[in-house]
C-alpha cells in the first residue's frame, strides 16, 4: 500500500503517520520525491485492507500496490531514483556513469596503471574484485583485505569512486570500510541472508541479475534490500544462461528497457560478463546505452593474456579509449551524456 501525501504535508504529520502505522504492525518506508512524499507500507494484507489510512492528516490518497516488489516498483515511486555515491557520481540522472577496471585487483602497481588510463578516458568509478567467486577452487580467489586497501588507495589517488564484490556476510564491515559501492554478484543474487544484512547498511549496492533469474526474481531480490532500509540500490544486467554457447552468457537487452519501466531504480549494463568476448563488448555497451541504461561496467586490463581472471573479455586501455569516444556519441544521440 502507498500513502501519497499532500504537497503541503508537514514533518509532524509524516512522523505521526509513521508512528501510527508502526503500532498497527506495519513497516513504513518514506520516499521523498521532487513534488510529493510517499510512504510505502509493508505488512499483513488484512491490516492494510481494513485500516482507514485516508483519515490521517496530510494524506492525499492511498493506492494499493499490485506488483509483488512493492518498494522497487514504479507504483511506489514514479520518478527515477538518483543514487548518489559522491559529489560527482550520481546514478539515475542524465549522465551515464562508466565503471571500469580489472576483474580482480592483482597488484597495487597494476591497478594504478589501469586506473590512470580509464580515468583519463572518462570513467568515474573504479572496479576491482578482492574476493573472487570462481567456478574452480584452484583458480585465483583474490587478495582479500590487501586488495581492498589497494582499491581504496588508488580510488582516492585518482578521485574515483570504487566498487567491489561481497561474497560473505562476515566480510561486510571490511568491505564497507574500504569501498564506496558493494557489488552483489550473480551467484549471490538470492542469498537472502546477505541481502538482509546489506539492507541494514547505508552503503550503495549494485545487485547483479542471477545467471538463471527471471526479471521478477531479480526485482524481488532487490526488494529484500529496500525492505530492510537501504534504498541506494543499482540493478545490473550481466547476461543470463541460455541454450546458446557461442558467448559466455546471453545478454538480455530487453531487460534494460523493461526494468526501466517496472522500477524506479537505476539500471547498469555489464557487457563484459554479458558476452565474455572482447570483440562484442563495445557493440553491446553501445546498444545498452541506446536501450536506456544508467551506467555501463567494463573490464579493462593492460595485459589481458596475463590477467588472473576474465582476460578473454577485458579490453586493453587503447580499446577502452576508442570505445569511450563511441559511447559519448551514442549517449548524445539519446539525449544523455557521459
Tens-digit pLDDT profile for residues 261-301: 999 999 999 999 999 999 999 999 999 999 999 999 999 99
For 221-244, how does the pLDDT look when each residue is reduced to its tens digit (9 = 90+)? Answer: 999 999 999 999 999 999 999 999
Cβ atoms of 127 and 99 closer than 8 Å: yes
Given 3-state DSSP classes, what are the helix, strand and coil percentages for the chain, each rounded to the nearest 5? Answer: 40, 20, 40
Do the domain assignments include residue 77? no
- Quick one: angle between helices 317-333 and 278-291, nearest 10? 20
Does 72 reside within a domain? no
Q: Are 203 and 229 in contact (CB under 8 A)?
A: no
Residues 93, 231 share a domain: yes
For 11-25, write each residue's pLDDT tens digit. Answer: 999 999 999 888 888
pTM of the model: 0.87
Q: How many CB atoms lie within 10 A of CB 127?
A: 31
How many structural domains compose the chain?
2
Question: Is there a domain that residue 69 lies in?
Answer: no
The CATH number assigned to the domain holding 25 equals 3.30.70.1140
Assess if residue 42 is contained within a domain: yes
Distance separating alpha carbons of residues 57 and 40, to the nearest angstrom = 16
User: What is residue 133's predicted lDDT score, i.e. its pLDDT?
Assistant: 63
In this structure, are 157 and 209 located in the same domain? yes
Quote the pLDDT of residue 305. Answer: 83
Residues of the chain with pLDDT under 50: none
Q: For residue 75, is it within any domain?
A: no
Instruction: Name the nearest CA neighbour of 82 among 295, 247, 338.
Output: 295
User: Furthest-apart CA pair in the chain: how many Å?
Assistant: 66
pLDDT at 2: 86
Q: ∠ at Cα 292 (289, 295), nearest 5°?
A: 60
- Give the structural domain span for 304: 83-333
pLDDT at 169: 93
Query: What number of H helices and E strands is found in the chain?
Result: 11, 14
Amino acid at each position: 500500500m502507498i500513502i501519497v501525501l499532500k504537497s503541503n504535508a508537514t514533518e509532524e504529520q509524516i512522523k505521526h503517520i509513521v508512528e501510527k502505522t508502526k503500532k498497527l504492525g506495519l513497516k513504513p518506508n518514506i520516499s521523498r520525491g521532487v513534488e510529493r512524499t510517499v510512504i510505502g507500507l509493508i505488512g499483513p494484507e488484512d491490516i492494510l485492507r481494513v485500516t482507514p489510512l485516508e483519515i490521517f492528516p496530510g494524506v492525499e490518497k492511498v493506492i494499493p500496490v499490485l506488483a509483488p516488489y512493492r518498494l522497487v516498483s514504479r507504483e511506489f515511486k514514479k520518478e527515477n531514483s538518483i543514487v548518489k555515491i559522491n559529489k560527482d557520481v550520481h546514478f539515475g540522472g542524465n549522465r551515464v556513469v562508466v565503471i571500469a577496471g580489472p576483474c580482480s585487483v592483482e597488484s597495487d602497481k597494476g591497478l594504478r596503471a589501469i586506473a590512470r588510463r580509464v580515468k583519463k578516458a572518462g570513467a568515474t568509478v573504479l572496479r576491482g574484485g578482492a574476493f573472487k567467486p570462481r567456478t574452480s577452487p584452484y583458480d585465483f580467489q583474490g587478495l582479500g583485505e590487501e586488495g581492498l586497501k589497494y582499491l581504496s588507495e588508488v580510488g582516492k589517488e585518482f578521485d574515483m569512486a570504487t566498487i567491489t564484490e561481497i561474497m560473505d556476510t562476515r566480510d561486510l564491515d571490511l568491505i564497507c570500510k574500504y569501498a564506496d559501492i558493494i557489488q552483489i554478484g550473480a551467484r549471490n543474487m538470492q542469498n537472502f541472508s546477505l541481502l538482509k544484512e546489506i539492507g541494514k547498511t547505508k552503503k550503495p549496492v549494485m545487485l547483479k541479475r542471477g545467471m538463471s533469474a527471471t526479471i521478477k526474481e531479480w526485482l524481488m531480490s532487490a526488494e529484500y534490500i529496500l525492505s530492510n532500509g537501504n534504498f541506494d540500490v543499482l540493478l545490473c544486467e550481466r547476461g543470463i544462461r541460455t541454450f546458446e554457447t557461442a558467448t559466455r552468457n546471453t545478454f538480455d537487452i530487453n531487460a534494460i528497457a523493461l526494468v526501466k519501466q517496472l522500477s524506479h531504480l537505476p539500471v547498469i549494463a555489464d557487457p563484459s560478463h554479458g558476452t565474455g568476448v572482447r570483440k562484442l563488448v563495445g557493440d553491446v555497451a553501445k546498444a545498452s546505452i541506446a536501450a536506456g541504461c544508467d551506467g555501463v561496467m567494463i573490464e579493462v586490463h593492460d595485459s589481458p593474456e596475463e590477467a588472473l581472471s576474465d582476460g578473454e573479455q577485458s579490453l586493453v586501455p587503447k580499446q577502452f579509449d576508442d570505445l569511450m569516444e563511441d559511447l559519448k556519441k551514442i549517449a548524445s544521440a539519446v539525449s544523455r551524456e557521459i
